[in-house]
A and B are shown apart, each in its own frame.
Chain A
């Protein structure tokens, strides 16, 4: 199936730093979503993007739906220890197929 390339695989940052991660695909998606998975839990939806070029914020999180519809990025500003977890991008195409990236594991050092 379609693959989403998510990078970086992992990040080790200091508390207070900003974080940026992205997802790219060779195929077009109609919806991009970003999830966060806390240790031992299932992924939880953070942000959903429905239109090319859309920029959406949720607190310290900002995500954008790329103009080409083949990419998306997520920024976290002023990271805090509870930001630790795995962040997944997901794309939904017009056949209602959802594809996930492999995840970005974020570690925040106090």
Chain B
């Protein structure tokens, strides 16, 4: 069964901390994505990557960075966590090419206090 695994289901961090959210997929997918999900706002794209060492900004990249050193792993970094980054974070992957749906991880619920 294909999988996207996010390392933590729940995280509580302090304001100003550097936070790493890890995502690993075992499907050899080329594309990987990070979204945040907030009530009433749906899913908003933070960053995405179509290849190793490649990254592109999504709609709301401010306050975030990403790293993709290996094809299967895509990390989201909050350089200095703030309370407005409290949210559900979802990682997804898809095959290369146009028209493929995404496979999502189970999400990481991050609370910044």
Interface residues of A (CB under 8 A from B): 1, 6, 9, 30-31, 33, 35, 40-45, 48, 50, 88, 90, 92, 94, 96, 98, 100-103
Proximity string of chain B (32-51) to chain A, C-beta cutoff 8 Å, 1 when within and 0 when not:
01010000111101000000
Find out whether the CB atom of A41 lies under 8 angstroms from the CB atom of B41: no
Q: How far apart sit A39 and B104, CA to CA, in the bound complex (Å)? A: 14
Find out whether the CB atom of A100 lies under 8 angstroms from the CB atom of B104: no
B33: which A residues are within 8 A, CB to CB? 98
25 contacts between A and B (CB under 8 A): A30-B98, A30-B99, A31-B101, A33-B101, A35-B104, A40-B107, A42-B4, A42-B92, A42-B104, A42-B105, A42-B106, A44-B104, A45-B101, A48-B101, A88-B42, A90-B102, A92-B98, A92-B99, A94-B98, A96-B98, A100-B35, A100-B43, A101-B42, A102-B40, A102-B41
Q: How far apart sit A54 and B42, CA to CA, in the bound complex (Å)? A: 25
Q: How far apart sit A53 and B90, CA to CA, in the bound complex (Å)? A: 31
Q: How far apart sit A56 and B41, CA to CA, in the bound complex (Å)? A: 27
Find out whether the CB atom of A42 lies under 8 angstroms from the CB atom of B107: yes
Q: How far apart sit A6 and B43, CA to CA, in the bound complex (Å)? A: 12
| A99 CB → nearest B CB, Å | 9
Q: Does B65 contact A (CB under 8 A)?
A: no
- Give which listed residue, B4, B90, B102, B106, contacts A45 with CB less than 8 A: B102
Given the interface pairs A88-B42, A92-B98, A96-B98, the reply to whether A1 lies near B103 with Cβ below 8 Å is: no
Chain A: CB-nearest residue to B92 = A42
| A43 CB → nearest B CB, Å | 5
Q: How far apart sit A102 and B40, CA to CA, in the bound complex (Å)? A: 6
